[in-house]
C-alpha cells in the first residue's frame, strides 16, 4: 500500500490499478479495544466483506501521499512530515539499493467499528516513500458493516495486495521483515499466536525498478479509486525492535542519518488523524488514533 510523493495539499488522489488476491479472513466482533468477543458472522457475510475489501484495495494508490517535505525536529536528524495516509517512521537515502533489510515487531491492534466502512493497516517495508514501488507486509483491521475483520497480507511490486492470514486476532504477536539480496526479495511474517497467518514469499524485482531508497515502519489508511479510506479507530500500534540494514551495516530506525517522523493529517492539513511518539531506544515508537478523516 503505497504513497504519492510530495502531493501538495489538495485532498485528492489519482487511482492506479493493481491486483488483489483474497484467500479468507477470520472475523472478530469487538465492542471496544479493551473488550473483544469472537463471534463470527455467517460465511455469506464474510464473502461479501472480502469482496468489498478487494474492491477497495484493487485501486490502492501506488505511492506515499506526503503533504510537505519535512521540517527538522529537535531530535537530531529527524524531520517531521505530514501525510494523508501514512504515520510512523521512514529512513531515506538518495543512494539506490541503500537498504537491504527492514524488520519490526508489534501486537495486532483491535479496531472499534461504527456503521461506516473503515480501514487501518500496519506494516514494515522497503520503498514507496521516495520511489514508485513497494515491497512490504503486515496486518489489517477492516470495518465492514460495523464488523471488524483482521488478516495478514503482503504486497510485492508490480502485483497488488495479497491476503494470507485467516485467523489473525487482536493481541496476536507479529514479527515481519523484508530482505533483499541482489534482485531477490524475501518477505516473512510470523504470528506467534496463530501460526496459520505466517507469510513466506520470495519474489524478484530489477535493480532499475525497485530502488531500495527507503525503509519504513508504518500505520496506514489505504487510498483507493475515489480518495483515502477513513482510518479505523484502532488501539495503539507500537513497533518494537525496529531495525534495518543500510549500506551493509545493521542499525535501528534512529541510527540512520536521515529519518522522517510521519504524522497522518486530514485533507486540509488542518489537524492530525493520529499522533506519533518519539523514538525510544532508537527502535521503538507508537502511533495513537485521534480521528478517522
Main-chain dihedrals φ then ψ at residue 143, nearest 5 degrees: -95, 115
What is the CA 273 to chain-centroid distance, rounded? Answer: 15
Total residues found in the chain within this entry: 293
In Å, what is the CA distance from 289 to each residue of 110, 174, 201, 275? 12, 20, 31, 7
Please name which of 194, 125, 133, 135 lies closest in space to residue 164, comparing C-alpha atoms: 194
Q: What are the distances in angstroms from CA 34 to CA 112, 171, 236? A: 10, 10, 11
Question: pLDDT class for 164, splitting at 50, 70, 90?
Answer: confident
Q: What is the pLDDT of residue 52?
A: 75
Q: Where are the domains of the chain?
A: 2-289
CA distance 153 to 271: 30
Asked if pLDDT for residue 191 goes beyond 80, the answer is yes
pLDDT band at 137 (very low <50, low <70, confident <90, very high): very high
Q: Is 45 helix (H, G, I), strand (E, B) or coil?
A: helix
Return d(Cα 223, Cα 227) in angstroms, integer.
6
The CA distance from 290 to 293, in Å, is 9
Instruction: Write out the three cell numbers for 90.
Output: 521512514
| Three-class SS state of 266 | coil
The model's pTM = 0.84
Does the pLDDT of residue 40 top 70, yes or no? no
Domain 2-289 grouped into CATH 3.40.50.620? no
Question: Residue 67 and residue 42: Cα distance in Å, rounded?
Answer: 41
Cα distances (Å, whole numbers) of residue 31 to 90, 116, 119, 145, 227? 33, 15, 16, 14, 28
Report residue 101: phi and psi, to 5°.
Answer: -160, 145
Least confident of 18-27, 55-64, 163-172, 178-187: 18-27
> Using CA atoms, how far apart are residues 73 and 8, in angstroms rounded to an integer?
21
Q: What is the CA radius of gyration of the chain?
A: 17
Does the pLDDT value for residue 7 go beyond 60? no
Instruction: Write down the pLDDT at residue 11.
Output: 35
Give the mean pLDDT of 84-93: 95
* CA distance linking residue 167 with residue 46, whole number of Å: 13
Closest by Cα among 141, 154, 157 to 188? 154
Helix or strand or coil: residue 54? helix
Amino acid at each position: 500500500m503505497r504513497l504519492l510523493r510530495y502531493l501538495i495539499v489538495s485532498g485528492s488522489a489519482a487511482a492506479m490499478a493493481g491486483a488483489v488476491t483474497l484467500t479468507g479472513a477470520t472475523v472478530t466482533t469487538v465492542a471496544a479495544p479493551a473488550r473483544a468477543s469472537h463471534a463470527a458472522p455467517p460465511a455469506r457475510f464474510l464473502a461479501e466483506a472480502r469482496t468489498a475489501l478487494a474492491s477497495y484495495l484493487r485501486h490502492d494508490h501506488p505511492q506515499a501521499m506526503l503533504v510537505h517535505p519535512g521540517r527538522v525536529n529537535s531530535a537530531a536528524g529527524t524531520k517531521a512530515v505530514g501525510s494523508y495516509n501514512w504515520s510512523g517512521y521512514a529512513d531515506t537515502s538518495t543512494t539506490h539499493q541503500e537498504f537491504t533489510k527492514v524488520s519490526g515487531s508489534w501486537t495486532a491492534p483491535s479496531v472499534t467499528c461504527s456503521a461506516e466502512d473503515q480501514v487501518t493497516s500496519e506494516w514494515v517495508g522497503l520503498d514507496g516513500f521516495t520511489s514508485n514501488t513497494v515491497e512490504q507486509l503486515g496486518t489489517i483491521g477492516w470495518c465492514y458493516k460495523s464488523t471488524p475483520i483482521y488478516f495478514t497480507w503482503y504486497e510485492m511490486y508490480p502485483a497488488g495486495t495479497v491476503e494470507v492470514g485467516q485467523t489473525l486476532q487482536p493481541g496476536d504477536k507479529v514479527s515481519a521483515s523484508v530482505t533483499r539480496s541482489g534482485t531477490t526479495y524475501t518477505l516473512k511474517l510470523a504470528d506467534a499466536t496463530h501460526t496459520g497467518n505466517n507469510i513466506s514469499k520470495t519474489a524478484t524485482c530489477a535493480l532499475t525498478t525497485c530502488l531500495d531508497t527507503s525503509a519504513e515502519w508504518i500505520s496506514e489508511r489505504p487510498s483507493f479509486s475515489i480518495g483515502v479510506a477513513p482510518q479505523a479507530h484502532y488501539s495503539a500500534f507500537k513497533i518494537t525492535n525496529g531495525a534495518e540494514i543500510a549500506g551493509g551495516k545493521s542499525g535501528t530506525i534512529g541510527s540512520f542519518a536521515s529519518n522522517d517522523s510521519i504524522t497522518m493529517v486530514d485533507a486540509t492539513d488542518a489537524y492530525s488523524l493520529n499522533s506519533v511518539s518519539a523514538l525510544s531506544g532508537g527502535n521503538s515508537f507508537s502511533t495513537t488514533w485521534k480521528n478517522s478523516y
